[in-house]
Chains A and B, each alone.
Chain A
Amino acid sequence: MGLTSLLFAALLNFPVTYYRLPNGLKVVVSESHTSPTVTVAVYYGVGFRIEPKGQTGFAHLFEHMMFQGSANVKKLEHARIIESVGGNTNGSTRLDYTNYYQTLPAEAVETALWLEADRMRSLDVSEENLKNQQNVVSEEVRVNVLNQPYQFFEWLDLWQNANTNWFNAHNFYGDLRDIEAAKIDDVRQFFKTYYAPNNAVLVVVGDVEADAVRKMIEKHFGDIPLQSVPERPDVAEAKQAAEKRVKQTDKLASLPAFAFGYHLPDQESADFAPAVLLDLILQGDDSSRLYQRLVKEKEISLDWAGGINFELGNQFDYDGPMLLAARTTYKAGHTGEEILKEVDEVIKEVQEHGVTKKELADAKVRFRANYYDQVESTQGRANLLASFALFRDDPSRINKIAAKFDAVTAAQVQEVARKYLVPDNRTSIDRVPEVTK
């Protein structure tokens, strides 16, 4: 493994230019010339975790507002202009950031920079456009959650049940009543509070020249005024005292499903890298211990999926309390208790006997392969660079993070299993069809 590890460290060498404009905007530029494309992304340091109390779903509703017009760009013009130069654009709201991005042929990089600068400077939303997007977002909640079997219980419900601090424990997609109650003043206030250059990272990744891009960025973003951004609320989660088991019924599902999560150590702690590798050993692929036990040996589960920041992102693009989660659809005639019993046995084996040398070595290879997948596209690289800049003030971690994982020992993995994968630190949800067919 020594050679492989060295190779990994040596091979990852994305150029990273990092600076701050006088207004506090963090800028990351990373040149790469394997494709004639570029991703331009702005990540704001506000996600659904810290949206205003009593206004569930607001951070995400606001994301839609950013496409509804600014001083020089009317509603729909952002998408029209990006598509007319051959690119695509979108935004997404996650735990600790809201991002806006476009990937386009590299010759149009300045068009995208101008569009992002205009809405950072001068968002301008009408009552009518807010009403329209409240309808659109309500339909989004219906199509992705309310009209679906399981309704994303493996993250939406699991987070609400596993956590006690409101910031981690509310409905992130949002209650329809809250979404429909939002007012135009709330939109303006949120923009003024969080959408400041000094609360954002601008990332440009792709077939461009860093020096030329810097001049464009200074021209378009340089005069956007700095704002005072409030202190982040306390999102810390108290230590869980006892195991939680939740039962749910599902009107639209035909098979039962089960999900569970354990609170994880902080990303910056020494326990984090071993926890990531432990997750891969337990459920990283079809050879993993949980898949083999539940799907292949016991034939209880139809499938198995899980991970850190499960369904929402990866191990690096968040900042705050986190769960190691899993989800499985299982066969009628079995029970959630049976699944938990098997899970506990699988984990107990690791706690008592540790993992094999081969498993650990393979987990490091698996980590490396997954990491390459995360950084392969300009958009994927932009995501990690933005996260490392926004949360750690160090985008060059994209080239250094791997070393931390290569150094993990089997003893550390075992220790992390003993410390965190205990029933008292776990919440599970057993979700069964309302009417058994």
Chain B
Amino acid sequence: MQNVLQWVTNNQQIIYIVILMVFVGIEVIGRVPSVLHTPLMSGANAIHGVVIIGAIIVMGKAEADNYLALILGFLAVILGTLNVVGGFVVTDRMLEMFKAKKKKVNTD
């Protein structure tokens, strides 16, 4: 119990960030028209690819003789990159269509 309370005190900054981010996330999504739900889900999917930073740290810290850490870390970097790059490119492809179409309307 003592540990937990101590941990809360030591990490109050982080706890505040979490609470505020929950509200920001809800506010931001609340105004999205249903038309954009799929691209939005895809965009959010790319953003949680930020987990790649953890993978890079793991990889960069791995000792040269620790093969488990090297291999798992390497795998994590690849998978995280797939998430980030694939996520943003797919989202861009979806949104590209919305844009191309809009232009066409203007020229009609």
Partners in one complex: no
Q: Which A residues contact B (CB, under 8 angstroms)?
A: none
